[in-house]
């Protein structure tokens, strides 16, 4: 017993003991599933029977029109969410940290509450709000404006309004708090110097706030790229299933679920997942290189 105690109290062994839970979690919940997914993407799996088929799944993906639709929808959704979920939360964060805003803590709580709501509940609420019935909230608004009720979730541009509003409702507060944290890290004396030099609010925002909050912006963009490409449950709940009119709500993860779970084609689903991973990595690496994140500091 004394020997084991001496080992665990050793300054050389103790660090490894502390990091062991992280290493085990990384191996069990990340490395093993990743390696298994890569291997399975080269196999045909039927009720537990595995057959190595080489690149057949990937060759099939290249000709799969539904996969092409899913990739197009996911990339489009990602780009639209980036256009909405970066500038709007940033401006709200700047406003939140300005002197004109009172009861800042209350507003931060109000903005963050939607993120605590289950995606399932949120999707059901928005499905009812955007229902094609005349009694739905959005069609009531259309009637108030003198327009006729429309089938919101049956046409792409109206359905995507619902999808993007759902995304903004849930995640604007979260991104805003990321930016608030970044703004708090900026030394206030920099703005005081700018005031002395006669800089106006726009000049301080453009020449000081944006460059100084760049690390936070890169982080938010990175997680937003992944979140946009991996979106599934929002679409699933909005259309009450994995089927939408003309596949307007079909995403890469939705197609992975359709092939892997609904059609029990796990090998093909793993190939879909590998392509998703490559797309997400490629986009993030490109944006990290473009923003100079990989450059060595002088």
The C-alpha angle with vertex 283 and arms to 64 and 264, in degrees rounded to 5, equals 35
Q: Which of 227, 198, 195 is nearest to 80 (CA)?
A: 227
Residue 94 structure tokens: 């700047």
Q: Which of 5, 174, 185 is nearest to 92 (CA)?
A: 174
Would you say residue 108 has pLDDT above 90?
no
Would you say residue 13 has pLDDT above 60?
yes
Q: What DSSP letter does each residue of 179-190 carry, written as one string?
A: HHHHHHTS-HHH
Residues 273-292: tens digit of each pLDDT: 999 999 999 998 898 888 87
In the beta sheet, which residues pair with residue 49? 46
Taking phi first (over 0 means left), then psi (-120 to 50 degrees means alpha), and beta for anything else, what does residue 174 get? alpha
How sure is the predictor about 296, in pLDDT bands with cuts at 50, 70 and 90? low
- Within 10 A of 97 (CB to CB), how many other CB atoms are there? 15
Collapse the DSSP code of 110 into the 3-class scheme (helix H, G, I; strand E, B; otherwise coil) and give the result. Answer: helix
Q: Which of 68, 79, 86 is nearest to 228 (CA)?
A: 79
Radius of gyration of the chain (CA): 24
Residues 38-87: tens digit of each pLDDT: 999 999 987 778 889 999 999 999 999 999 999 999 999 999 999 999 99
Q: Which of 164, 143, 159 is nearest to 227 (CA)?
A: 164
Phi/psi at 44 (5° precision): -105, 125
Q: Could you tell me the maximum CA-CA distance found in the chain, to the nearest angstrom? A: 84
Residues 192-204: tens digit of each pLDDT: 888 888 888 888 8
Collapse the DSSP code of 261 into the 3-class scheme (helix H, G, I; strand E, B; otherwise coil) and give the result. Answer: helix
The secondary structure of residue 148, as a DSSP letter, is -
- Ranges 97-106, 112-121, 152-161: which has the least confidence: 97-106
Please give the Cα distance from 298 to 291 (Å, whole number). Answer: 16
Looking at residue 1, what is its pLDDT? 55
Q: Are strands 49-52 and 43-46 parallel, antiparallel or unpaired?
A: antiparallel
Q: What DSSP letter does each residue of 200-229 carry, written as one string?
A: -HHHHIIIIIHHHTHHHHHHHHHHHHHHHH
Collapse the DSSP code of 46 into the 3-class scheme (helix H, G, I; strand E, B; otherwise coil) and give the result. Answer: strand
CB contact at 8 A, 82 and 263: no
In the beta sheet, which residues pair with residue 51? 44
Q: What is the mean pLDDT of residues 150-170?
A: 92
Residue 7 structure tokens: 């080992």
The secondary structure of residue 153, as a DSSP letter, is G
Please give the Cα distance from 138 to 126 (Å, whole number). Answer: 10
pTM listed for this prediction:
0.88
């Amino acid at each position: 017993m004394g020997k084991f105690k001496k080992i665990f109290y050793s300054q050389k062994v103790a660090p490894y003991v502390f990091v062991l839970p992280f290493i085990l979690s990384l191996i069990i919940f990340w490395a093993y599933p990743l390696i298994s997914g890569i291997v399975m993407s080269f196999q045909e799996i039927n009720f537990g029977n595995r057959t190595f088929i080489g690149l057949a799944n990937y060759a099939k993906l290249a000709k799969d029109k539904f996969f092409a639709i899913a990739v197009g929808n996911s990339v489009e959704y990602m780009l639209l969410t980036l256009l909405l979920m970066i500038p709007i939360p940033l401006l709200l964060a700047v406003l939140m940290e300005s002197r004109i805003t009172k009861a800042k803590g209350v507003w931060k709580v109000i903005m963050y509450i939607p993120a605590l709501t289950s995606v399932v509940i949120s999707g059901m609420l928005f499905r009812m709000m955007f229902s094609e019935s005349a009694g739905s909230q959005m069609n009531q608004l259309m009637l108030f404006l003198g327009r006729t009720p429309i089938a919101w979730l049956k046409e792409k541009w109206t359905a995507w309004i619902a999808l993007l509003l759902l995304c903004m409702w849930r995640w604007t507060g979260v991104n805003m708090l990321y930016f608030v944290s970044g703004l708090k890290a900026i030394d206030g004396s920099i703005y005081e110097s700018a005031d002395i030099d006669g800089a106006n609010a726009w000049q301080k925002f453009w020449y000081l706030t944006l460059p100084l909050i760049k690390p936070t912006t890169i982080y938010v963009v990175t997680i937003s790229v992944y979140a946009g490409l991996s979106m599934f449950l929002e679409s699933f709940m909005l259309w009450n299933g994995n089927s939408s009119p003309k596949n307007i709500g079909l995403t890469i993860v939705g197609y992975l679920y359709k092939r892997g779970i609904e059609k029990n084609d796990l090998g093909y689903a793993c190939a879909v997942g590998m392509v998703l991973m490559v797309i997400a990595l490629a986009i993030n690496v490109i944006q990290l290189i473009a923003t100079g994140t990989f450059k060595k500091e002088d």
